C-alpha cells in the first residue's frame, strides 16, 4: 500500500532532527524552532549548534501522555540555525 502525499513521513530513529520533526508535524522548520524556543516540544537537547529531539518524548506528548517542558530551552543559536 502506497503512502498518500498528505501523510507525514514516519519517524524511524529514536532521535530526530528539527527537519524530520517538522516534516512529521507538517510544520516548517521555523515553526519548530519557535516551539523549541518557547519550550513547547519535549525531549529537546542541543548538542553544539544543532538540536536533537527524542522521538519517544514527542510521541508521548502528541498522545497526551507526556508533558512539554516546564521552562523554555536556552536557544541563543536558534536564529543562526534558521539561515
Which pLDDT value is given to residue 65? 80
Q: Quick check: is 35 in a domain? A: yes
Which pLDDT belongs to residue 2? 53
Give residue-wise pLDDT tens across range 14-44. 999 999 999 999 999 999 999 999 999 999 9
CB 50 within 8 A of CB 81: yes
Q: How confident is the model at residue 83 (pLDDT cuts 50, 70, 90)?
A: very low
Tally of domains within the chain: 1
Q: Has residue 6 been placed in a domain? A: no
Helix (H) or strand (E) holding 46: strand 44-47
Place 68 in a pLDDT band, splitting at 50, 70 and 90: low
The CATH number of the domain holding residue 21 is 1.10.10
Give domain status of residue 70, yes or no: no
The answer to whether position 47 is within a domain reads yes
- What is the model's pTM? 0.67
Residues 39 and 70 sit within 8 Å (Cβ to Cβ): yes
Q: Identify the domain containing residue 35 by its residue range.
A: 15-65
Amino acid at each position: 500500500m502506497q503512502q498518500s502525499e498528505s501523510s507525514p513521513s514516519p519517524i524511524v530513529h529514536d532521535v530526530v532532527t528539527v527537519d524530520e520533526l517538522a516534516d512529521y508535524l507538517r510544520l516548517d522548520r521555523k515553526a519548530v524552532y519557535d516551539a523549541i524556543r518557547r519550550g513547547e516540544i519535549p525531549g529537546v537537547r542541543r548538542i553544539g549548534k544543532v538540536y536533537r529531539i527524542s522521538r519517544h518524548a514527542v510521541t508521548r506528548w502528541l498522545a497526551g501522555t507526556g508533558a512539554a517542558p516546564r521552562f523554555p530551552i536556552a536557544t541563543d543559536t536558534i536564529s543562526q540555525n534558521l539561515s
